[in-house]
């Protein structure tokens, strides 16, 4: 007896029968079909389409096996003409007629063109009280009347929708809270910016006073002419804008990095004093001046010339 290769004839999922009713098949349902099939008691024929009356059998279902979510079948007594039609993809899909309890296979139908004229094939008696299900078509194609979900599918979709709606409400509340927090943080930032501006202004004023005090100390010590005081303050202020530090060698030989303004002041402060620039400087009397001498009237001097 020559047997065909194993072919898929059913799979898990929800499908619509010939009466427009939905049926869901699980792996357990496919396993029940496999276990319940006994060709010795009731052999299921291989037919073309789904004949309602006596029609020739183009083979017989020999055995079933299940591989995960699929049910596979092996057929016997299949004519060469039928095998060629399947090989030529004239018949690409299969469907099954099942007993009303979906536990017994009545026949397996090849779907495609009309049945070929092959003589000498055995007749088959069909049970018209069964249900016919096309397991090969995708689920959406198995519902020609529309894609309305079953009650079970609707319940699952409704549960998902409710869960998403609850999640959205929660996220909206969190977004609202975050917006309030952002508003508070913006107010705090504005306040801190204002305080920083005030502190920066105060610090700038402090640095200006400190700069002026150092220049005045240079003038008082005779290290800077009074006429150059304002010029020195302006130049030091310009150096204060330089952010790159510079090297400075202290009198003791110690190296350090300081600001350009600080280096400028240190160089001025380390320069020798000129007594003429000191605030308490008094010019010495001429060499011919004699203390206690009578004052000379200029007119007396000119009259002698």
User: The domain containing residue 34 runs over which residues?
Assistant: 7-142
- Structural domain count of the chain: 2
172 and 69 co-located in one domain = no
Matching residue, tokens 């620039």? 277
pLDDT (tens, 9 = 90+) of the chain, 305 residues, equals 788 889 888 889 888 777 778 888 899 999 999 999 998 888 899 888 766 544 578 889 999 999 999 999 999 988 888 888 888 777 777 788 888 888 888 888 887 755 544 444 444 444 445 667 666 554 444 444 444 455 666 677 778 888 898 999 999 999 999 999 999 999 999 999 988 888 888 888 888 999 999 999 999 888 899 999 999 999 999 998 888 888 887 777 788 889 999 989 988 988 898 877 765 555 565 655 555 555 666 676 666 66
The predicted pLDDT at position 171 comes to 93
Q: Identify whether 153 is part of a domain.
A: no
Classify residue 57 by its DSSP letter: -
Which residues make beta-bridge pairs with 248? 256
Reduced to 3 states, what is the DSSP secondary structure of residue 103? Answer: coil
The whole-angstrom distance between residue 30's C-alpha and the CA centroid of its chain comes to: 42
Q: Identify whether 44 is part of a domain.
A: yes
116 and 206 co-located in one domain = no
Residue 281, C-beta contacts closer than 8 angstroms, at least 6 positions apart:
222, 275
Q: Identify whether 282 is part of a domain.
A: no
Q: Identify whether 220 is part of a domain.
A: yes
Q: Identify whether 205 is part of a domain.
A: yes
121 and 174 co-located in one domain = no
87 and 176 co-located in one domain = no
122 and 29 co-located in one domain = yes
The predicted pLDDT at position 301 comes to 60
Q: Quote the strand ranges of 2-139, DSSP E.
A: 7-11, 13-16, 22-25, 46-48, 55-56, 60-67, 70-76, 91-98, 105-112, 123-124, 131-133
12 and 133 co-located in one domain = yes
Q: Identify whether 87 is part of a domain.
A: yes
15 and 131 co-located in one domain = yes
Q: What gap in Å lies between CA 228 and CA 271, rounded to an integer?
A: 15
Q: Identify whether 182 is part of a domain.
A: yes
114 and 27 co-located in one domain = yes
Q: Identify whether 67 is part of a domain.
A: yes
Rounded to 5 degrees, what angle do the CA atoms 111, 138, 37 make?
60
| Boundary (domain end) residue, out of 142, 157, 180 | 142
133 and 252 co-located in one domain = no
- Give helix 229-239 / helix 260-269 axis angle, nearest 10°: 150
86 and 212 co-located in one domain = no
| Boundary (domain end) residue, out of 109, 142, 175 | 142
The predicted pLDDT at position 129 comes to 55
183 and 231 co-located in one domain = yes
134 and 43 co-located in one domain = yes
């Amino acid at each position: 007896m020559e047997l065909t290769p194993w072919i898929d004839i059913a799979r898990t999922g929800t499908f619509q029968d010939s009466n427009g009713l939905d049926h869901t098949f699980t792996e357990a349902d496919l396993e029940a079909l496999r276990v319940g099939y006994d060709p010795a008691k009731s052999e299921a024929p291989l037919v073309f389409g789904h004949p309602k009356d006596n029609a020739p059998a183009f083979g017989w279902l020999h055995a079933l096996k299940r591989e995960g979510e699929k049910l596979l079948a092996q057929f016997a007594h299949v004519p060469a003409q039928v095998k060629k039609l399947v090989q030529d993809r004239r018949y690409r899909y299969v469907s099954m007629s099942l007993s009303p309890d979906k536990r017994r296979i009545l026949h397996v139908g090849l779907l495609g063109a009309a049945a070929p004229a092959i003589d000498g094939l055995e007749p088959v008696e069909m049970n018209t009280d069964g249900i016919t299900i096309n397991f090969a078509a995708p689920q959406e194609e198995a519902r020609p009347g529309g894609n309305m979900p079953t009650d079970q599918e609707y319940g699952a979709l409704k549960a998902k929708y409710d869960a998403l709606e609850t999640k959205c409400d929660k996220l909206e509340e969190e977004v609202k809270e975050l917006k309030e927090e952002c508003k508070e943080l913006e107010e705090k930032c504005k306040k801190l910016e204002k305080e920083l501006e005030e502190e920066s202004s105060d610090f700038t004023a402090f640095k200006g006073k400190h700069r002026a005090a150092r220049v005045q100390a240079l003038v008082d010590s005779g290290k800077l002419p009074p006429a150059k005081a304002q010029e020195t303050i302006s130049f030091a202020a310009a150096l204060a804008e330089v952010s790159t530090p510079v090297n400075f060698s202290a009198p003791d030989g110690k190296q350090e990095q300081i600001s350009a303004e600080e280096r400028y002041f240190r160089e001025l402060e380390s320069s020798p004093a000129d007594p003429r620039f000191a605030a308490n400087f008094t010019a010495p009397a001429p060499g011919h001046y004699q203390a206690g001498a009578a004052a000379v009237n200029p007119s007396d001097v000119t009259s002698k010339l």
